[in-house]
């Protein structure tokens, strides 16, 4: 088995991508973060709309969101599980987003993420990403931002 088709090697490459993406988010670096996505990536993010398609849309969304934070964004990735197979892979994790917003609100919430990767020209790129917060099903439909792992 060569390194290029060894599942452990490919899992390590995916984990490195996740770490690099998280560092770019912490640094609020739009160019570095969108470099992790396939050109036609589809993302279901926390903010509307239901689906964001393409790197151009992602670039715009990150460029608008990053300035709403004072200083770097606190971002912690936990409980990462990776599965690889050929030219596709997926990962899931629990992620903490925290820090001070420009309106002085102290943000601190945990989200769930599932990221699907596709190998393009030998590099793993995000093809599909889904980030969510559970909600209370007691009729209030409040986001359950008080949950912690």
Q: Alpha helices, DSSP H only, in the chain?
A: 7-26, 30-34, 55-65
* pTM attached to this predicted model: 0.91
Structural domain that includes position 30:
3-132
3 pLDDT more than 90: no
Mean pLDDT, all residues of the chain = 94
More confident residue, 1 or 121: 121
Residue 142 maps to a domain: no
Instruction: Answer yes or no: is 140 within a domain.
Output: no
pLDDT over 50 at 60, yes or no: yes
Burial class (CB in 10 A: 0-12, 13-18, 19+), 130: middle
Taking residues 1-13, report their average pLDDT: 79
148, part of any domain: no
Domain count within the chain: 1
Does residue 51 lie in a domain region?
yes
The confidence score (pLDDT) of residue 48 equals: 87
pLDDT tens figures, 71-117? 999 999 999 999 999 999 999 999 999 999 999 999 999 999 999 99
Task: Please provide the distance, in angstroms rounded to a whole number, between the alpha carbons at the two ends of the chain.
Answer: 37
């Amino acid at each position: 088995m060569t390194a290029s088709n060894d599942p452990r090697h490919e899992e390590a490459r995916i984990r490195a991508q996740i770490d690099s993406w998280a560092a770019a988010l912490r640094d609020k670096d739009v160019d570095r973060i969108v470099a992790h996505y396939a050109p036609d990536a589809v993302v279901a993010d926390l903010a509307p709309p239901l689906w964001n398609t393409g790197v151009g849309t992602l670039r715009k969304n990150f460029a608008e969101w990053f300035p709403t934070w004072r200083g770097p964004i606190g971002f912690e990735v936990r409980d990462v599980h990776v599965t690889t197979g050929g030219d596709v892979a997926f990962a899931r994790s629990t992620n903490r987003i925290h820090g001070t917003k420009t309106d002085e609100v102290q943000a601190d919430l945990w989200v769930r993420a599932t990221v699907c990767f596709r190998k393009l020209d030998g590099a793993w790129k995000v093809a599909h990403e889904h980030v969510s917060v559970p909600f209370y099903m007691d009729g209030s439909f409040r986001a359950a931002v008080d949950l912690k792992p």
